[in-house]
């Protein structure tokens, strides 16, 4: 019954993630304890249950019954400076062939693209609260079960609808909710093995400016078109798994955790501000594998040195294709060709007293997104993390974690060029126009966790 109450409390504690600030569109909000060191040492375990997100094998480090509730406030600031942008020169026909298009109020040949000026995006982000919950129960001498509930991926950003890059992005939102039941086996005092199942719900929405052909709009320069807004929304439930191992000696713990990819086919509808509902629509999205390797080494009774290397298989993202069940609407193709993402972090913990410990860390995030395909809705270019945190032991069974982290995000250059080629495969920006811009920003994270154990 106690285990059931803990699981129910975790579920009731969840809210809605509304921002993404980590590699790609991952969310760095798994727990307050780890955030205080940029997750250095997290897959090797420690006192926080949140380590099970990175490595389920760490749950054998806890007692007979434990629970943790985390909340991370994300305070981002991001805007995009536009150096130049142009109106799309082509419309995609239902067979994906391209035909020249013009603005009827400013007709011009295809060799003279219409400038959209340099209107900035404004601040595209807003504050967000991302909760997480964890529970562990020891059901026999060597067997443990656990449950982690998180929002591992997500984003939410919105630019001014009249900004110059509106044919590439106006608003985007992705929310994920992931439940991860786990079972672990403590082989001996040194070695633990674990595996779990992921059940992941995803909801996504995208809005951009788009061109709609005008009836009887044939001109010598091309088909006349009207600027409109198009929106896609869809959702799905997908499945995956997790696995992990820890190995401990007297003063050192090594941990290796794996989170599998989760495949989604978002199904929903496509809408247009003038034409109305265009039809049912779908897009395939794969949230990638994550491998986290960590070490925790106790230098002496007061000092612990921690390190983490994390790899995210973002190279899975080759393109995004939106298909609409309407013979008059062409598929919408957005190239990705991402690389892998990396996080490297180092941290240090100091036990000041029996009731108070402090920690700090630094990290380097390496973005998977190349300049050639970087879109303004995910302007990730990596950056440098700094963090600090503390733990206060309220009672023998209750502890409070508080942490703060700052991401100095690297400036993200955006170079999306319409080459004027009527071939969508070689000129994916033919139906979006050119955009030369640069995104600047930073992010503050403030996290709090309450841990309870019997």
pLDDT tens track for 133-185: 999 999 999 999 999 999 999 999 999 999 999 999 999 999 999 999 999 99
Contacts of residues 4-11 at CB distance under 8 Å and 24 or more positions apart, as own/partner, are: 6/65, 6/67, 6/135, 6/137, 6/147, 7/135, 7/147, 9/67, 9/69, 9/133, 10/67, 10/69, 10/133, 10/134, 10/135, 10/147, 10/149, 11/133, 11/149
Mean pLDDT confidence for 281-285: 97
Q: What is the pLDDT of residue 220?
A: 79
Q: What is the DSSP secondary-structure string of 225-281?
A: EEEEEEEEEEEEEEEEEEEEEEEE-SSEEEEEEEE--EEEEEEEEEEETTTEEEEEE
Q: What is the pLDDT of residue 110?
A: 66
**Statement: residue 11 has pLDDT above 70:** no
Q: What is the pLDDT of residue 93?
A: 81
Which of these, 173, 149, 190, lies nearest to 44 by C-alpha position? 190
CA distance to 65, 113, 249, 361, per residue, from 140 (Å):
12, 71, 23, 36
Q: What is the pLDDT of residue 221?
A: 75
Q: What is the pLDDT of residue 9?
A: 33
Residue 364's Cα: distance from chain center in Å?
A: 17
Q: What is the pLDDT of residues 372-402, one digit of tens each?
A: 999 999 999 999 999 999 999 999 999 999 9
Residues 382/25, Cβ–Cβ less than 8 Å = no
Report how far residue 122's alpha carbon sits from residue 248's, in angstroms, rounded to the nearest whole number. Answer: 50
Report how far residue 149's alpha carbon sits from residue 139's, in angstroms, rounded to the nearest whole number. Answer: 20
Residues 293/43, Cβ–Cβ less than 8 Å = yes
Q: What is the pLDDT of residue 169?
A: 95
Percent of the chain with pLDDT over 90: 81
Report how far residue 51's alpha carbon sits from residue 54's, in angstroms, rounded to the nearest whole number. Answer: 6
| Burial class of 99 by CB neighbour count within 10 A (0 to 12, 13 to 18, 19+) | middle
For 325-428, list the strands marked E by DSSP.
332-335, 341-351, 356-366, 383-393, 398-409, 412-416
Mean pLDDT confidence for 181-204: 98
**Which carries the bigger pLDDT value, residue 348 or residue 421?**
348
Collect all residues with Cβ–Cβ distance below 8 Å to 325 and sequence separation of at least 6: 279, 280, 281
Collect all residues with Cβ–Cβ distance below 8 Å to 15 and sequence separation of at least 6: 129, 130, 131
Q: What is the pLDDT of residue 107?
A: 72
pLDDT winner (highest mean) among 54-58, 93-97, 323-327:
54-58
Report how far residue 75's alpha carbon sits from residue 323's, in angstroms, rounded to the nearest whole number. Answer: 35
Q: What is the DSSP secondary-structure string of 354-376?
A: SSEEEEEEEEEEE----GGG--T
**Statement: residue 10 has pLDDT above 70:** no
Residue 149's Cα: distance from chain center in Å?
A: 16
**Statement: residue 21 has pLDDT above 60:** no
**Which carries the bigger pLDDT value, residue 74 or residue 1?**
74
Collect all residues with Cβ–Cβ distance below 8 Å to 68 and sequence separation of at least 6: 31, 48, 49, 50, 133, 134, 135, 449, 450, 451, 452
222-248 and 191-219 strand pairing = antiparallel
**Statement: residue 419 has pLDDT above 70:** yes
* Domains of the chain, each with CATH number or no CATH: 2-453 (2.40.160.60)
Confidence class for position 52, pLDDT limits 50, 70, 90: very high
Averaged pLDDT of the chain = 92
Lowest mean pLDDT among 73-77, 209-213, 220-224, 232-236: 220-224
Residues 52/66, Cβ–Cβ less than 8 Å = no
Q: Which helix (H) or strand (E) holds 207?
A: strand 191-219
Q: What is the pLDDT of residues 311-334, one digit of tens each?
A: 999 999 999 999 999 998 988 989
Question: pTM for this structure?
Answer: 0.92
**Rounded-to-10 torsion of CA 241, 233, 90, 216:** 150
User: Across the strands, what pairs with 290?
Assistant: 259, 312
């Amino acid at each position: 019954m106690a285990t059931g109450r803990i699981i129910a409390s975790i579920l009731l504690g969840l809210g809605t993630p509304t921002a993404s600030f980590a590699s790609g569109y991952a969310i760095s909000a798994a727990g307050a304890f780890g955030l205080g060191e940029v997750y250095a040492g997290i897959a090797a375990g420690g006192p926080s249950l949140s380590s099970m997100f990175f490595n389920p094998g760490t749950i054998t480090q806890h007692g007979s019954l434990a629970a943790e509730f985390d909340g991370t406030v994300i305070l981002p600031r991001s805007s995009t400076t536009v150096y130049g942008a142009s109106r799309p020169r082509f419309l995609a026909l239902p067979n994906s062939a391209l035909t020249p298009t013009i603005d009827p109020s400013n007709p011009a040949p295809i060799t003279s693209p219409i400038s959209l000026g340099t209107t900035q995006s404004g601040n595209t982000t807003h504050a967000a609260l991302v909760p997480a919950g964890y529970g562990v129960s020891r059901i026999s001498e060597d067997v443990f079960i656990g449950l982690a509930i998180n929002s591992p991926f997500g984003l939410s950003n919105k630019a001014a609808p009249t900004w110059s890059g509106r044919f590439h992005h106006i608003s985007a939102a992705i929310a994920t909710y992931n439940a991860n039941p786990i079972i672990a086996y403590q082989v001996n005092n040194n070695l633990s093995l674990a595996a779990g199942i992921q059940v992941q719900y995803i909801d996504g929405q995208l809005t951009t400016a788009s061109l709609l052909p005008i009836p009887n709009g044939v001109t010598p320069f091309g088909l006349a078109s009207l600027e409109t807004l198009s929106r896609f929304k869809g959702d799905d439930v997908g499945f995956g798994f997790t696995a992990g191992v820890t190995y401990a000696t007297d003063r050192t713990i090594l941990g290796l955790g794996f989170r599998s990819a989760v495949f989604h086919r978002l199904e929903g509808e496509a809408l247009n501000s003038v034409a109305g509902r265009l039809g049912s629509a779908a897009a395939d999205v794969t949230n990638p594998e994550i491998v986290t390797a960590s070490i925790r080494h106790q230098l002496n009774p007061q000092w612990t040195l921690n390190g983490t290397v994390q790899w995210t298989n973002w190279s899975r993202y080759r393109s995004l294709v939106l298909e609409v069940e309407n013979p008059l609407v062409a598929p919408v193709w957005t190239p990705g060709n991402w690389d892998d993402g990396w996080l490297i972090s180092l941290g240090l913990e100091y036990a000041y007293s029996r009731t108070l410990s402090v920690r700090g860390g630094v990290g380097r995030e390496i973005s998977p997104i190349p300049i050639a395909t970087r879109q303004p809705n995910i302007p990730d270019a990596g950056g440098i993390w700094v963090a600090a945190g503390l733990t206060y032991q309220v009672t023998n069974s209750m502890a409070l974690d508080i942490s703060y982290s700052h991401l100095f995000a690297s400036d993200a250059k955006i170079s999306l060029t319409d080459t004027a080629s009527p071939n969508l495969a070689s000129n994916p920006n033919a139906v979006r126009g050119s955009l030369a811009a640069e995104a600047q920003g930073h992010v503050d994270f403030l996290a709090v966790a309450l841990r309870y154990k019997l």
